[in-house]
Structure 1
Amino acid sequence: MTVLVLVVDDEPDMEVLFRQQFRRDLRAQRFTMDFAGSAAEALTRIADTGGQTLILILSDINMPGMSGLEMLPEVRARRPDVPVIMITAYGDAETRKTALDRGAERLLTKPIDFGQLRQEIEARLEQAA
């Protein structure tokens, strides 16, 4: 079984950063990581995971077009089985409340604590096993 983590962010350098942080896991094929540059692309991607088991979605909040907060209810309606962690540079109380009210499991602030994120992914891997 191939497990998938989907990262949704409009900044191309985020893909490089995530691939660097998780390069050992990706090389060892513990999981795969896919990237969507927009909310619309993410919604298409979650509809067809190509036989992979989607275990986690990590999404930026501020993106052009549909924001991560606008995308969140759509994701929850289409894939209620997949937890979503929102990522933002602005971790104010109102943003946190909105994200959680719309179905996010957690809200992480930038700069991302990759140690904390690794623990989240490990927990999902254990659940998927």
Structure 2
Amino acid sequence: MIEVLFVDDELDTLQLAKVKFEGETSADGVTIATAANAQECLTYLENRGECSRVLVVSDLSMPEMDGIALLKVIQKRFPQVKVYICTAFDTPFLRKNSAEKGALRFFTKPLDFKALRLAMLEDFAVEFAAKDSAK
């Protein structure tokens, strides 16, 4: 089972993401979790243990630790976790910087949950194929 962890300092955005993405992925067997900041995200990952099927969808602009800084920590401590960056401010520099730092995907807000689901299905294709063959 794939677990998607949304990280954003705006609680309304987290609630919307949880509800919308649960609806979008209900048939995929995806679990949705949320974290209100980078430290909550890291604590969640530490407590989770095995993280090879975890996708973090992080806001870029957050107080204390932004999405790129969080990405760097995740890469160092949880290298198996996949990370997408999202932001309301889309510029070629932000896209390039996110990719160079190791973000697997870059999305703009408001999030297109259908596009997010398709990206996740593509990036976790092996896991979804194994799930389907186990049926």
TM-score by length of 1: 0.85
Q: Distance in 1 between matches of 2:95 and 2:26?
A: 34
Runs of 4+ with deviation above 3 angstroms = 23-29, 50-54
Q: Which structure shows the bigger proportion of residues in helix conformation?
A: 2
- 5 Å-filtered alignment, 1:54-93, equals 54-93=53-92
SS at match of 1:5: strand
Is residue 45–residue 51 contact of structure 2 (8 Å, CA) maintained in 1? Answer: no
Q: Which residue of 2 aligns with 1:38?
A: 37
The aligned amino acid for 2:9 is D
SS at match of 1:80: coil
Structure 2 unaligned segments of length 5 or more: list them. Answer: 131-135
The aligned amino acid for 2:96 is K
Is residue 11–residue 37 contact of structure 1 (8 Å, CA) maintained in 2? Answer: yes
Q: Which residue of 1 aligns with 2:96?
A: 97
Q: Distance in 2 between matches of 1:29 and 1:52?
A: 18
- 5 Å-filtered alignment, 1:114-129, equals 114-128=113-127, 129=130
**Alpha-carbon spacing, 1:85–1:20, altered in 2? closer, same or farther (3 Å):** same
Q: Distance in 2 between matches of 1:46 and 1:115?
A: 25
Is residue 7–residue 37 contact of structure 2 (8 Å, CA) maintained in 1? Answer: yes
Is residue 60–residue 88 contact of structure 1 (8 Å, CA) maintained in 2? Answer: yes
- 5 Å-filtered alignment, 1:7-18, equals 7-18=6-17
Percent same amino acid at aligned positions? 34
The superposition leaves residues 89-117 of structure 1 with CA deviations (integer Å, 9 ceiling, x where unpaired) of: 11111111221111101111112111110
SS at match of 1:48: helix
Q: Distance in 1 between matches of 2:96 and 2:124?
A: 27
